[in-house]
A and B are shown apart, each in its own frame.
Chain A
Amino acid sequence: METEVEEGLLSVSGILAQYVQMREEEFKKQIKENVDGLYKKKNEAVKAGNSELEKSYYNQWIEARKVNIDKVMTDDISRLSGIMSNFLESPGVYDINHELVFRLKIGSSETKEYFMKILKVKFFHDLNSKFKTYSRFSVEKGFRSYRSNVLVGSFMFFILFFYVYFTVRKKRESIFIRRIPGLDAIDDAVGRATEMGKPIIYDSGIGAFINPQTIASMLILKSVAKKVAEFKAEIIYPAYDPIVLQVAEEMIASGFLDAGYPEDHKKDNCFFMVQDQFAFAAGLAGLIARKKPATALHFGSYAAESLLISEAGFAAGAIQVAGTVEASQLPFFITACDYTLIGEELYAAAAYLSRDAQILSNLKLSDYGKILFGILFLLGTILLTINSEWTIIADILDTY
């Protein structure tokens, strides 16, 4: 039965795809007419001396140039398959839930029927999503040519990365990194904790381990843990994500090992708190209020809880250093913390602390990227401001 249904789906999808492909010329004509029409209107506005209208048509013209035939056809097949799937009737909401458990427990005669309904629902959902997928990929096949710019750009970036990586490895000692006061303060902050006999609380925000900010935070944690071990202080790490917790435990343990004091590492100081934003904020704020740490370090990905955490640290009188790439949370950290690493400084922090060749190359590559994209942005901005018809930079950067 499954094979039959699959074949049926493929045949219906094929018919739909054929219909969309038949309209390819029509779509191309529409796109061209739209672009030409807006260009004409823009020129008419120039002749009429209406700069507001000219600007508006110019922007519309730029946007219209980004529309390409592949995307239009994919949108159309998605629209058609969406309409078709609406004709399929859902069997209702049946799931493996408490009702099923209850039926099984009492040995109800309707259990089998309920199971069948669950299977029907599963079949319905599979059918629906397969139909949409088959239809879409009957039209959208192979290489997405409109993304060639990204492919070329990313390869160039890879080449640049390896060039920088091998260059940096040779000249590691001579590479200049500007002073980052926040990181210089970590030594003092750890020393303060030792003198006061109070712990250091380190948290890495609410990002999962797939978040690059969390990975950067883990690199900093290793360096901080090493310093903590050298100063004979205590570090507490409350985790938001259990997987990050495992990595953090390893980082702290290896930091203590690098310092030569693996026996000082207290495993119980790394613990899972809760995987809910505000519960985590409340838990961490409570921990800070009770432990009254000498130092609180916040590096990672944050959302609305940033101020709740950092204000708790401020109220406890801790020296606070924070760092995040989230632009919306930076003002809160800047206000409540003593030092804040802004944006990319979070990534620079690990290089600054470890002077590791790989991480230094990260910094250098970011700098080259900034120069390259800065020039492109500047040129693009000038060209768009003067309503230039030479839009190649905007096209390269905007189409994907």
Chain B
Amino acid sequence: MKKELPILMGLIVGILWYSEFFIAGIFYENMKLFFANGFRIAGVVGVMVGIYSVARQNYAKIKYNNERYYSILRVTMILLMIFLGTKRGMSPGTPFSSMFMNVYVPFQATVFSLLSFYIASAAYRSFKAKSVESAVLLIASIFVMLGKIPLGEAMWSKIPVISEWIMDAPSSAGRRAIIFGGYLGTITMMIRIFFGLERSHLSE
């Protein structure tokens, strides 16, 4: 029963959502609302599970591990944000909002901006003509990069045209092939879940 019930529920809900695509009506709108609320509730429960996991992991680290300083910092920040949020609210102008906007958001931006350095280092490693394929990649990338800057057009007026063709024709075709294969895999996976053949989420 522990495994049959979720499969049966999955099948019923799957049929409902499947038919919603083909049949219009108020019933389906109410159903969507019901499930949207359900997802929210499940999300809240999920957050609780997450909090428990973080607490358990950090407690163990602080007590026994030599990496305790990271854990102390993490727990302190979590507790500080909870304290600020409950004490003065989260609306703009409150300490919680200030912490979020002036500490958290810049941290996010910093991590994101690291990407530019990583891209440069990854590009340096991959743009080496070690084989025929990598030589083709190197030449194509040179055209694409030059085509995106004014210098390319100044060197030869055809460079932006070639660059555009590379992006529109071979690159786009390869990309679509990958996406298409991915979607087919996704559809078959969904059919398996729909008919209860996929039971990994029930740890089978």
Cross-chain contact of B178 among A212, A219, A247, A343 (Cβ < 8 A):
A343
Closest chain-A Cβ to B136's Cβ sits at a distance in Å of 14
B24-A254 in contact (CB<8A)? no
Q: Which residue of A lies closest to B197 (CB)?
A: A358
Closest chain-B Cβ to A72's Cβ sits at a distance in Å of 15
> B190 an interface residue at 8 Å Cβ cutoff?
yes
Q: Which residue of B lies closest to A74 (CB)?
A: B24
Residues of A within 8 A of B170 (CB): none
Q: Which residue of A lies closest to B39 (CB)?
A: A210
> B1 an interface residue at 8 Å Cβ cutoff?
no
Cross-chain contact of B24 among A144, A281, A311, A332 (Cβ < 8 A):
A144
> B126 an interface residue at 8 Å Cβ cutoff?
yes
Residues of B within 8 A of A327 (CB): 175, 178-179, 182
Cross-chain contact of A307 among B56, B90, B122, B191 (Cβ < 8 A):
B122
Residues of A within 8 A of B193 (CB): 215
B24-A219 in contact (CB<8A)? no
> B60 an interface residue at 8 Å Cβ cutoff?
yes
> B34 an interface residue at 8 Å Cβ cutoff?
no
Cross-chain contact of B126 among A161, A290, A304, A335 (Cβ < 8 A):
A335
Contact digits for A110-154, partner B, Cβ 8 Å, 1 yes 0 no: 000000000000000000000001100100111110010011001
A347-B185 in contact (CB<8A)? yes
Cross-chain contact of B49 among A151, A222, A245, A334 (Cβ < 8 A):
A245
Residues of A within 8 A of B180 (CB): 370, 373
Closest chain-A Cβ to B105's Cβ sits at a distance in Å of 10
> A264 an interface residue at 8 Å Cβ cutoff?
no
A143-B26 in contact (CB<8A)? no
Residues of B within 8 A of A213 (CB): 186
Residues of B within 8 A of A99 (CB): 89
Interface residues of A in 154-210 (CB under 8 A from B): 154, 157-158, 161, 165, 209
Residues of A within 8 A of B158 (CB): none
Q: Which of A165, A307, A344, A370 has the most CB of B within 10 A?
A: A344
Given A209-B201, A254-B203, CB of A369 within 8 Å of CB of B53: no
Residues of A within 8 A of B57 (CB): 268, 271-272
B24-A137 in contact (CB<8A)? yes
Given A241-B46, A308-B111, CB of A133 within 8 Å of CB of B118: no
Q: Give Cα A241 to B24, complex, Å.
A: 33
Cross-chain contact of B89 among A97, A142, A282, A370 (Cβ < 8 A):
A97
> A275 an interface residue at 8 Å Cβ cutoff?
yes
A281-B111 in contact (CB<8A)? yes
**Count, chain B residues at interface, CB 8 A:** 61
Cross-chain contact of A271 among B23, B47, B48, B53 (Cβ < 8 A):
B53
Residues of A within 8 A of B121 (CB): 311
Q: Which residue of B lies closest to A366 (CB)?
A: B184
A141-B111 in contact (CB<8A)? no
B186-A212 in contact (CB<8A)? yes
Closest chain-B Cβ to A258's Cβ sits at a distance in Å of 11
Q: Give Cα A281 to B111, complex, Å.
A: 8
Q: Give Cα A142 to B25, complex, Å.
A: 7
Residues of A within 8 A of B46 (CB): 241-243
Cross-chain contact of B22 among A143, A161, A245, A279 (Cβ < 8 A):
A143
Closest chain-B Cβ to A177's Cβ sits at a distance in Å of 14
Main secondary structure, interface of A, reads helix
Interface residues of B in 138-177 (CB under 8 A from A): 175, 177
Given A142-B24, A279-B108, A344-B184, CB of A219 within 8 Å of CB of B67: no
> B16 an interface residue at 8 Å Cβ cutoff?
no
A304-B185 in contact (CB<8A)? no
> A278 an interface residue at 8 Å Cβ cutoff?
yes
Q: Give Cα A216 to B115, complex, Å.
A: 27
Q: Give Cα A161 to B193, complex, Å.
A: 12
B185-A325 in contact (CB<8A)? yes
Q: Give Cα A141 to B186, complex, Å.
A: 30
B186-A137 in contact (CB<8A)? no
Residues of A within 8 A of B131 (CB): none
Q: Which residue of A lies closest to B21 (CB)?
A: A147
Residues of A within 8 A of B24 (CB): 137, 140-144
Residues of A within 8 A of B197 (CB): 165, 358
Closest chain-B Cβ to A5's Cβ sits at a distance in Å of 16
B188-A347 in contact (CB<8A)? yes
A343-B203 in contact (CB<8A)? no
> A297 an interface residue at 8 Å Cβ cutoff?
no
A161-B175 in contact (CB<8A)? no
Cross-chain contact of B189 among A137, A143, A362 (Cβ < 8 A):
A362
Residues of A within 8 A of B29 (CB): 133, 137
Q: Give 18 new A-B contacts, CB below 8 A, not counting A215-B200, A370-B180.
A: A98-B90, A98-B91, A98-B94, A133-B26, A137-B25, A161-B188, A212-B185, A213-B186, A218-B201, A278-B107, A278-B108, A278-B111, A278-B112, A281-B111, A308-B111, A358-B197, A369-B184, A369-B188
30 A-B pairs in the complex with CB atoms less than 8 angstroms apart: A99-B89, A133-B26, A137-B29, A143-B23, A144-B24, A157-B187, A212-B186, A215-B198, A215-B200, A215-B201, A219-B200, A222-B200, A242-B48, A245-B49, A245-B50, A246-B49, A251-B200, A272-B53, A272-B54, A279-B111, A304-B112, A307-B115, A307-B119, A307-B122, A308-B114, A335-B126, A347-B185, A362-B188, A362-B192, A370-B184
Residues of B that sit less than 8 Å from A by CB: 18, 21-26, 29, 42, 46-50, 53-54, 56-57, 60, 67, 70, 88-91, 94, 107-108, 111-112, 114-115, 118-119, 121-123, 125-126, 175, 177-182, 184-193, 197-198, 200-201, 203
